[in-house]
A and B are shown apart, each in its own frame.
Chain A
Amino acid sequence: MRKIGLLVNPIAGMGGSVGLKGTDGLAEEAAQRGAVQRAPSRAEAALKALQPLRGNLTILCAAGEMGENEALAQGFQTQTVYRPNLPTAAADTIAAAKAIEAAGAELLLFAGGDGTARDLVAAGVQIPCIGIPAGVKIHSPVYALRPEAAGELACRVLQGERSRTKQIEVVDIDEDAWRADLVRTRLYGYLTVPDDRSLLQHGKAASPASESAQQNAIASEMAKRMKPGCFYFVGPGTTTKALLDGLGLEGTLLGVDLIADGKLLQKDLCEADILQRIREKESFLVLTPTGGQGFLLGRGNQQISGAVIKAIGKDHLFILATREKLFHLQGRPLLVDTGDPEADAGLSGYMRAIIGLGEEQMIRISAD
């Protein structure tokens, strides 16, 4: 009997129908405005695609409306591993995710929005996840294109047709800012997903080489260009992480790490650390766009401040990006928002991004 997890955030998506731009912290208000739950029906739509495997599948879930009801409604055998407090909250999502993984699920299907994905990051989930899109905001590529596609992808994984996984960014918009019509995203971390380009969001930029193969090629090119005796501050992201991995260094995925002459000198530097160490040697910054929306600076790498940029200089900046990442810009510029208008203006204009071995692409940088 195979075990997969099902986690439904019952309030996800409720805010959208009543104009609330997200439901984080506003479930009660949404309900008062007459919002109806949409996550349960979407979770069931995903489960329908798993019907062919029903006889050989146990759904590990949280009790009631957090997954159990939907699984039972679709005739699946269930095992309840967590009982939420009512009304449910983010803490329940986190606790349920932990319980599902601990109970031996090989895959986690979850229905929600960006906030739900963020909770899974907080839970430290390691098993592959597939999001059933049900939230108001869907920016993370952890989500399938449609609920049915989530089920279809789960089916393929269980049948051994999607064995490869990859790590993807979990980003979310700052909802308070969004409600004030300011769009700011944050990078919260990474989740593991099945590597499928046809069923997951942001999967349109299929390229002949996998994203990880591209990242390895970019890392090789960058490694070739690194000069001895200089400092290289490597920013967050999976593409920059591939450089560290290629050099055999145990760096961080979300932090800024300092390397020189093939050695890791310091991990997870803050702005002050960076500014201090820049004074020691000729220094270079190695960045990749993070945090969705094509931000090069200011989302997920705030420790690289305007002061850091001014101290290092535009000509000492390396930008690494896969073709897929640049594809998603759809002609838009890469954005910089360090909070220092002078530093941002200094970066504006055209720059080159390393996209492969001996391959670069002209990209426009903009502060607007």
Chain B
Amino acid sequence: MKKIDRSNPVRTGFHQAKWDEPVIFELTQPGERGVLVNKAEKAICEATEGTAAIPAFLKREQAPALPEISQPRVLRHYARLAQETLGTDVNVEIGQGTCTVKYSPKVNEQLANLPQMREMHPLQDESTAQGIMEILYKTNQYFCEISGMDAFTMQPGGGSQAILGMASLVYSYFKSRGEEKQRNEIITTIYSHPSDAAAPHLKGFKIIYLHPDKDGYPDFEAFKAAVNEHTAAFFVANPEDTGVYNKNVLKFTSYMHEHGGLCGYDQANANGLLGVTRAREAGFDTCFFNLHKTFSAPHGCGGPACGAVGCADFLEPFLPAPIVRFDGEKYYYDYENAKNPYGMHKIREFNGAAQVVLKAYAWIRALGAEGLYQAAKTAVLNNNYLFKKLMELPFVDAPYIPGKQRIEQCRYTLEKLLEETGVGTADIQRRMMDFGMHYWTSHHPYYVPEPMTLEPTETPSKADLDEYIATLKYVFNEAYTDPKYLKAAPHSSVCHQLDESNMDDPEQWAVTWRAYRKKYQ
């Protein structure tokens, strides 16, 4: 038996499974079935004859084109795909800056999977749902305490929908004052999340972007020039993607209020702020939390998520219905807002993803108020440890205010590395996959040249951080010693390099099987 050498934390032996798995629609075999369903008994057939009452125009003319495939083939298909992903449970999840991927306690999954939760129906009688209603109510209260807001809705199904919720609040507010046609512009910044522009745009607002000033803060002079009688609101993240906290944010929100506009705070990721700052005290009228970013619920891959939207009391009448309230004895649904002629009424069904709220509730309860503050402090400490270690490398830099501490993430630039080696951030990104690591560049367009955005959260231990740093250094070193091999990466991952030349052309996109068939078959 040989002694195992663990002195090098870089996983040079990593190799991911590659299955060349077809799209499930391509696996279809006519007549193949997963389940053969017996013909229903006579009584059931009779009982369901009522479907004849469904108007003809609502009925399908032909069966949906679902894949015809047996159970083991379905299982194999998805098991293979699962092996081709790099999920948060298998890699040291530091490299997805701005995504804020933290550990989701598995015990909370079990809570969400309890029959009492799993088998509930949103329309069942309130008296039988008091447990989850209490959790919805209390989580709402916690969010109010954390943000300083007066009310929350759990209805939005994710961050972008939450921003749409904030934009809807703004729209409702001005509609109630007869100003919705005049106040049709929302100002945001290029370093806020792209959805801070996209979602209000969907609501019909015109979007005005601000560039940062030389220190990386939103340019206040540009902001003042942008504000006019058409301005409805200012939507911004703080810190923005750069990780630099704008301590002058109150100046922005005050100016906006002086000119009749509202302020929305993108707190999707409030990871460095829990127990430190509160949105309301920074002058914001509405804000939102992504429960999968800040409160440990898992990222849903587009599945169930929750972007909880909060607001000050004067906006509460415009929140969607229902709102869970407590009368001193029992919890009940308040549908009053559904009658508000100016309200948004609904942004998603019922109370949103109750299981996700349950997981966030469990996490908050497990940590307590002090624990939340400790999580924020640890996230900031982790990030600044990483920041210090990486900034020691001569070819790594971070734009704006040299030496200033970042909050929970940082956008670095590898411009010098590119100049010296010809290796850019996209090359590093692909090569990190060869070690089972995520690495993220930036939202587009790349305002920071050759960007690298890392965000550790409070999850990783020092050993995790050191492993990630060692892997990055290994790859950086390769840029100088074997750039050709590096640029040909990934070598041990699922996909080799793709032809990206038309990936920015909407005419050639096919994001559904139907679109693919229409365009390419």
With contacts A207-B444, A324-B445 known, is A360 near B206, CB below 8 A? yes
* A359–B201 touching, CB < 8 Å: yes
A323, closest chain B residue (CB): B445
Decide if B239 is an interface residue (CB 8 Å cutoff): no
How many pairs of A and B residues are in contact by the CB < 8 Å rule? 87
How distant is the Cα of A146 from the Cα of B421 in the complex, in angstroms? Answer: 11
* A207–B445 touching, CB < 8 Å: yes
* B445–A327 touching, CB < 8 Å: yes
Contacts of A204 in B (CB 8 A): 446, 449-450
Q: Mark A205-227, 1 if CB is under 8 A from B, else 0.
A: 11111100100000000000000
Contacts of B499 in A (CB 8 A): 161-162
Query: What does DSSP make chain B's interface, helix, strand, loop or mixed?
Result: loop
Q: Which residues of A161-195 have CB atoms within 8 Å of chain B's CB atoms?
A: 161-164, 195
How distant is the Cα of A327 from the Cα of B190 in the complex, in angstroms? Answer: 11
With contacts A198-B424, A327-B446 known, is A209 near B504, CB below 8 A? yes
* B226–A352 touching, CB < 8 Å: yes
* A350–B222 touching, CB < 8 Å: yes
Contacts of A349 in B (CB 8 A): 225
Decide if B501 is an interface residue (CB 8 Å cutoff): yes
Decide if A69 is an interface residue (CB 8 Å cutoff): no
Contacts of A146 in B (CB 8 A): 422
With contacts A198-B424, A208-B444 known, is A361 near B501, CB below 8 A? no
Contacts of A161 in B (CB 8 A): 499, 501
How distant is the Cα of A344 from the Cα of B429 in the complex, in angstroms? Answer: 45
Decide if B210 is an interface residue (CB 8 Å cutoff): yes
Which one, B78-86, B211-219, B300-308, is touching chain A? B211-219
The tally of residues in B whose CB lies under 8 Å from a CB in A reads 34
Decide if A87 is an interface residue (CB 8 Å cutoff): no
Q: Mark B459-502, 1 if CB is under 8 A from A, else 0.
A: 00000000000000000000000000000000000000001011
Q: Mark B430-445, 1 if CB is under 8 A from A, else 0.
A: 0000000000000011
Decide if A358 is an interface residue (CB 8 Å cutoff): yes
Contacts of B447 in A (CB 8 A): 205, 327
The tally of residues in A whose CB lies under 8 Å from a CB in B reads 36
Q: Mark B17-44, 1 if CB is under 8 A from A, else 0.
A: 0000000000000000000000000000
Contacts of A207 in B (CB 8 A): 444-445, 504
* A350–B221 touching, CB < 8 Å: yes
Q: Mark A327-368, 1 if CB is under 8 A from B, else 0.
A: 100010000000000000000011010010011111110000
How distant is the Cα of A145 from the Cα of B80 in the complex, in angstroms? Answer: 39
How distant is the Cα of A145 from the Cα of B421 in the complex, in angstroms? Answer: 12
B223, closest chain A residue (CB): A362
Decide if A106 is an interface residue (CB 8 Å cutoff): no
Q: Which residues of A29-74 have CB atoms within 8 Å of chain B's CB atoms?
A: none
* B501–A196 touching, CB < 8 Å: yes
B205, closest chain A residue (CB): A358
* A359–B209 touching, CB < 8 Å: yes
Q: Mark B224-257, 1 if CB is under 8 A from A, else 0.
A: 0110000000000000000000000000000000
Q: Mark A119-144, 1 if CB is under 8 A from B, else 0.
A: 00000000000000000000000000
Decide if B505 is an interface residue (CB 8 Å cutoff): yes
A207, closest chain B residue (CB): B445
Decide if B197 is an interface residue (CB 8 Å cutoff): yes
Contacts of B226 in A (CB 8 A): 350, 352, 362
* 5 pairs, A vs B, C-beta closer than 8 Å: A145-B422, A204-B450, A327-B446, A331-B211, A361-B210
User: Chain A interface (Cβ within 8 Å of chain B)?
Assistant: 145-146, 148-149, 156, 161-164, 195-196, 198, 204-210, 213, 323-324, 326-327, 331, 349-350, 352, 355, 358-364
Given contacts A327-B447, A359-B197, A359-B201, 14 further A-B contacts (CB under 8 A): A145-B422, A146-B422, A148-B422, A163-B501, A204-B449, A206-B444, A208-B444, A326-B211, A327-B445, A331-B211, A331-B212, A349-B225, A350-B226, A361-B209
